[in-house]
Structure 1
Amino acid sequence: MTEIPGVILAGGLARRMGGGDKPMRTIAGKTILERVITRLGAQCDGLILNANGDPARFAQFGLPVIADSVSDFPGPLAGILAGLDWMAINRPDTNWMLSTAGDCPFLPRDLVVRLDQERRRQNAELAVAVSDGQTHPVVGLWNVRLREDLRQALVVEGIRKIDRWTSRYPIVAVSWPTEPFDPFFNANTVEDIAEADRLAALDSP
Structure 2
Amino acid sequence: MTGSTAQQADYASAGYGHHLVPGDRPALLLVDPAQAYTDPACPLYAGVEEEVAAMGVLLSAARTAGIPVVVTRVDIRPDGADAGVFFRKVPALAAFTTGSPFARYIDGLAPRADEHEVVKQYPSAFFGTGLAEHLHTLGVDTLLIAGLSTSGCVRASAVDAMQHGFVPLVVADAVGDRDEDVHRANLFDLSHKVGEVWSLDRALELLGTPVA
**Bigger RCO (CA 8 Å, 6+ sep):** 2
TM-score by length of 1: 0.38
